Chains A and B, each alone.
Chain A
Amino acid sequence: MAREQKKKGEKREKREKRPLRKKKCKFCLDRVTYLDYKDERRLRRFMTDRGKITPRRITGTCAKHQRMLAMAVKRARLIALVPYVREYYR
């Protein structure tokens, strides 16, 4: 029992070392109302180097802008501005 409590205490300490910091939606800060699918450089910042759309839990994008981002990326993929997948060496 005592040991368990100690463990829990340790865990809590670890949490405190790295406090949660709320990420801000970058598009909200810029007051973005429309995300252009032609804006390749901007879209690429929200994609992994494999060509996936970065999840918003990582980028901190709000739901509204994540939807706009997904739409823009998918359009950009269609006209080959950004890749669907980028394969690495096999």
Chain B
Amino acid sequence: MRSYECAVILHPSVTEDGLKASTAKYVDIIAAAGGEITRVETWGKRRLSYEIMHQPEGHYFFYRFRGANQLVDELGRQLRIDENVLRHLIVRDELANGEEPKLEPGTVEPAVRHPEREREEEHRG
């Protein structure tokens, strides 16, 4: 089990009912595959930085969930089939306090000066 975050951009012409149906659909898919949804977030209709399928806008949704890797494959497959989905992105959720966080808090180099290293870098330009 791993934590993931899935971003979905839906077609701007999808009605409010359609949005609800879509959310319910993906929540069901995740649940059916043994996943556990931790959060569903929406940003509403938002302007895209560039047109996707000739659409200047899209509805943004973010699903955070925990699940097996098979679930990610299945979810990705379903998202690719869905014609209302302009774009989707599934990434590992590094913020969730699940196992295997890439960076433990506090492992980032503190802002300490390394005189030797700095001198070296200055020489390099």
Contacts and interface: CB of A to CB of B under 8 A. Distances in A.
Q: Do A and B come from one complex?
A: yes
Interface of A: 20, 22, 24-25, 27-29, 31-34, 36-38, 62, 64, 75, 77-84
What is the predominant secondary structure among interface residues of chain A facing chain B? loop
A28 B109 contact: yes
Interface of B: 7, 9, 48-50, 52, 58, 60, 62, 87, 89, 91, 94-95, 102-111, 118, 121-122
B111 A24 contact: yes
B90 to A, nearest CB: 11
Contacts of B9: 79-80
A80 B89 contact: no
A37 B95 CA distance: 12
Contacts of A25: 111
Given A20-B122, A33-B103, A79 B87 contact: yes
A20 B121 CA distance: 11
B110 A28 contact: yes
Contact of A82 (B49, B110, B111, B118): B49
A84 B52 CA distance: 12
B111 A36 contact: no
B8 to A, nearest CB: 9
Given A38-B62, A75-B89, A81 B108 contact: no
A33 B101 CA distance: 10
A90 to B, nearest CB: 17
B48 A28 contact: no
A25 B111 CA distance: 8
Nearest to B91: A75
A15 B68 CA distance: 58
A22 B113 CA distance: 10
B109 A62 contact: yes
B89 A34 contact: no
Given A22-B122, A28-B110, A31-B110, A78 B49 contact: no
